[in-house]
Amino acid sequence: MREPAETPSEPPQFQPLLPPQFQPSALELVRPPFFEPPPDDAAQQHAEEAAIASLIEEVYTHPKQRRMHYSMKQKRHALLATEGLSQREAARAQKIPRGTLSGWRKAKEDIFAFMEARRRFLERQDVPKASPFPRTSLRS
């Protein structure tokens, strides 16, 4: 049988893990003056836990999904590219929500009419304005 080990008179000395230049000084081991012990009051502790939980929830919750804005050109391109496909396939192929694509398909005539109206408007801009006053040079 083994005999019980003798109890040493002084505690064993542990070797520090860090070299001496990286060891904290005696002043750094003292608690900072702003340290407060945990609250004894259960209500105060519960309020602090709730505040911490709300901060954590705020950090880790996803922000609201922002609404996408599509130009008429993008809408026309998507409608032309998805002709003949089912709504699910078309939405997946263009990476557009199904409801959005459904609305575009319902308003297809209006979307393509917008293009014609814009084209006509731009063509009219090229027409020179008729002026009642002839252009004359002020320099003679």
Which amino acid is located at 24 in the chain?
Answer: P
Query: What gap in Å lies between CA 33 and CA 30, rounded to an integer?
Result: 9
| Mean per-residue pLDDT over the chain, rounded | 75
Q: Please report the pLDDT score of residue 105 as a whole number.
A: 93
The SS3 assignment for 58 reads helix
Cα distances from 43 to residues 2, 18, 40, 48, 70, in angstroms, run: 55, 42, 9, 9, 52
Query: Residue 41: which pLDDT band, with cuts at 50, 70 and 90?
Result: confident
Cα distances from 71 to residues 42, 68, 87, in angstroms, run: 57, 10, 20
Span of 69-73, 119-123, 129-133 with lowest mean pLDDT:
129-133
Residue 76 has pLDDT above 80, yes or no: yes
Tell me the mean pLDDT in the region 124-130. 59
Question: Is 0.75 topped by the overall pTM?
Answer: no
